[in-house]
Chain A
Amino acid sequence: MGSRDIIFSVSLHVLVVVATVVTMPLAQRNAFPHQEVIRVNLAAMPKGAGLQPTPVQPAPVAEPPQQKAPEVKETPKPKPKETPIETQAKKTEKKTEKKPAAKPAEETPKQAEESSGASEEDSEPSQSQGGGGQGEVNAPVGAGSPFGGATIDNANFDYPYWFTQAFNKIGVNFHNRVQYPGPLVCVVYFQVIRSGRVIQLEVRESSGVPEFDDCCLEAVSKSTPFPPLPREFVDEIIGISIPFKYTP
């Protein structure tokens, strides 16, 4: 090896070192926006709303006549417009128009029959309504709520409370361990039988990041058993799709 080669080699190494040192902080900041990751993971969840469906309240004008005292309508409630996910709110408003806000217990089966002909698309707002009950008490759901847009494949299942309980449980058990520069969505599908046990659990739409998919599956599997299906619900099984969302 001649002295020329050595000088060339040293120069090259020095150049690489200088380039690495100069560009590292910049590259790190761009590649791993850690602070943003923390903020996104924590922003919604501690308020008890981040992992729940969009809270939606029936529009006072759209409510059908009720047997209850009229002052209920005067109760100040958060308006759907305040929720960032407007499409969810609109869908739920439509559903609310069909159904009295407070129906007698005896009418439940009848109500279930009425909604039995509804399409899968129609059943979606009823889940959002489930979260709405909880959302009333808590802060409104912020953008990035992982469960906005959940769907059920059994339109007869019209029990908002059940979704509130189940989604809260999933929310407690959802621990995202993934850091990723872009948004992720993983749709998980699972079937629940009468006892609340899950008999099928799968990723319907992968996020493309296996670790994130695993976190989503784990959130559901750790949440079992879910509350049992209501006694009045005649079917033996329901299937639910939940989109888990991650926004950096």
Chain B
Amino acid sequence: MHRLILLLATVVLLLPAAGFAQSEERIRDIMFDTIMARTVEALPVGVDQMKYIGNQYITADDSAMMQWATKVVQNDIDFYADFKLIPLDTFFLRVYEITELDILGWERLGAQRLVKLEAEFPGSNIRIYWRLFDVKTNQQISKGQVEYHRNYWREMAHDVSNEIVYWLTGDQGIFRTKIAYIKQLKPGVKEIFLADYDGANERQITKLGSVCLSPTFSRDGKEIIFTSFRDGKADLYKVTVEGGAIAKVASYPGINAAPAVSPDGQKLACVLSKDGDADIYVLEITGRQITRFARPRSIESGPTWSPDGQQIVYSSDRAGQPQLYMADDDGLNEKRLTYRGRYNDSPRYNPKGDRILFVSRDDNGRFNIATVDVRGMEYHMLTNIGTNENPHFAPDGKHVIFTSSRGGGTDLYTMDSGGRNQRKLTATGNVTNPVWGPFPRR
């Protein structure tokens, strides 16, 4: 009888718990769904053709420069996650037998904001005046001017675009940021290259004649720290973005790889195998060891710092296959972040510190880019074509660069942080490991 009473009491106690568990599951579902609600329609922005306002004849080169500068601004606006470029409809012009659109015409095309550009050429410089309008009310939102030597017309155009982003969103534009990546020049030779965010002005940074991997920018963006097999094993090196002399950062026995600079620029998280299995280590920026995340019998890789420098997220195969884990920067308070998917690797924190990008292998064995919030609850798959790897956030957190084989070879692609506007950046088919540099210091 006593057993019966005990059994009944247990059942009575467990029933509410079962109901609670059911509620928890439903709450998770809701949270997963609500992420889809975070998108807002992109703002339609028109960029009018740049006009010459000087009083002297200009050369054909100057005229072409004005056209190209306009094109750069248009591309920037088109690229930006919050905007949608309204292209100038030449058919519209022909139908109405006009040569240019007034603000009313732009409104008819669907633009809600309009950028007007004018230029003149004092001496060897080019001076661009820009004005930003609210199309509906014809209010001038802001205006300004930039002036550089003619050689820097592209930088000037990016500066104008950054101003447009600033006045419309309050955020800092990314159009003067750089990207670094690895390009395979021939079998066994992979070097580091640097380019503007849009792929222009590509420059080769290293000429080591060996395999370079995992580049990462220093906090000020002036140096790149990377792994190279120059001396026959994987060591950490650094080089200035101007491509100066190479300096060794860490050369412990075994593997020295996957460097990640802390937000304060003073520490370096990386993967070392000097004590056996590959583990996460925190070093001083000079290479001296501070901490080891001792995780026996498992392989850890791909550390990434939280923006406040308090946590490090990395992948570990201790559960059988790689999954993401988070720990304090001293290796304590570890918790597992990902449970969905059998293979999750290459984590990257976003600048806001609330989401993490990573590579996730789906049931068909394909690698895709996914995000998860720092609680490990809100998953979001961003890609579904080809093999996609090496994701990295832009410093504004609104854009992502990654590699994909969807077009044949491995090339760089960009997309919004929500997965929209996926665009191909390179077409050489031999590019990997992209990283997005920080905002340039003003």
Contact = CB atoms under 8 A, between A and B. Distances in A.
A14 B36 CA distance: 46
Interface stretch (A33-41, A180-188, A236-244): A33-41
B12 A20 contact: yes
Contact of A105 (B40, B113, B140, B171): B140
Contacts of A191: none
B41 to A, nearest CB: 4
Contact of A138 (B41, B136, B167): B41
Interface in A157-210: 159-161, 164-165, 168-169, 171-172, 175-177, 179, 196
A160 B136 contact: yes
A48 interface: yes
B12 A102 contact: no
A231 B113 CA distance: 16
B11 to A, nearest CB: 6
Contacts of A41: 30, 33-34, 37
B15 interface: yes
Nearest to A25: B19
Contacts of B11: 17
Interface in A1-53: 6, 9-10, 13-14, 16-17, 20-21, 24, 28, 32, 34, 37-38, 41-42, 45-46, 48, 50-52
A228 interface: yes
Contact of A42 (B9, B33, B113, B137): B33
A227 interface: yes
Interface in B1-18: 1, 4-5, 8-9, 11-12, 15-16
Pick from B23, B37, B38 the residue with the most CB of A within 10 Å: B37
B8 A10 contact: yes
Secondary structure at the B interface, as helix, strand, loop or mixed, is helix
A34 B26 contact: yes
Contacts of B141: 159, 161, 230
A103 B136 CA distance: 9
Interface string B35-49: 011111101100000
Given A34-B30, A179-B27, A101 B40 contact: no
Given A103-B138, A137-B41, A227 B167 contact: yes
Contacts of B38: 45, 172, 175
Contacts of A68: 104
A32 B23 contact: yes
Interface size for chain A: under 10, 10 to 19, 20 to 34, or 35 or more residues? 35 or more
Interface in B355-373: none
Contacts of B143: 231
A119 interface: no
A73 B375 CA distance: 51
Interface in A133-165: 133-134, 137-138, 159-161, 164-165
Given A48-B41, A104-B138, A108-B139, A20 B15 contact: yes
Given A134-B112, A160-B137, A230-B142, A225 B44 contact: no
Nearest to A31: B23
A61 interface: no
B211 to A, nearest CB: 41
B396 to A, nearest CB: 12
A6 B39 contact: no
A14 B8 contact: yes
Contacts of B41: 48, 134, 137-138
Contacts of B169: 165, 169, 227
B169 to A, nearest CB: 6
Nearest to A28: B19
Given A10-B1, A41-B30, 19 more contacts: A17-B12, A32-B23, A41-B33, A42-B36, A45-B37, A45-B38, A68-B104, A72-B104, A72-B107, A103-B137, A108-B139, A133-B134, A133-B136, A137-B110, A161-B137, A172-B40, A225-B170, A227-B169, A231-B143
8 contacts: A38-B33, A41-B33, A48-B40, A161-B112, A224-B170, A227-B169, A228-B142, A230-B139
The 5 nearest A-B residue pairs measured at CB = A48-B41, A45-B37, A161-B134, A225-B170, A196-B170
